[in-house]
Amino acid sequence: MENQIKKRVLVVDDIKSNLLVMYSILRKDYALILARNGAEAIRRAREHAPDLILLDILMPEMDGYEVFAELKNHDSTRDIPVIFTTGLSDPDDHEKGLSLGAADYINKPFDPAIVKRCVQKQVG
| C-beta separation of 60 from 31 below 8 A | no
CA distance 74 to 66: 13
Report phi then psi at 53, rounded to 5: -125, 125
Per-residue model confidence (pLDDT) at position 118: 97
**Mean pLDDT, range 61-80, rounded to an integer:** 96
pTM of the shown model: 0.93
Each domain of the chain, given as residue ranges in start order, spans 8-123
Structurally, what CATH architecture does the domain formed by 8-123 represent?
Answer: 3-Layer(aba) Sandwich (3.40)
pLDDT at residue 95, as a whole number = 80
- CB neighbours of residue 87 within 10 Å: 13
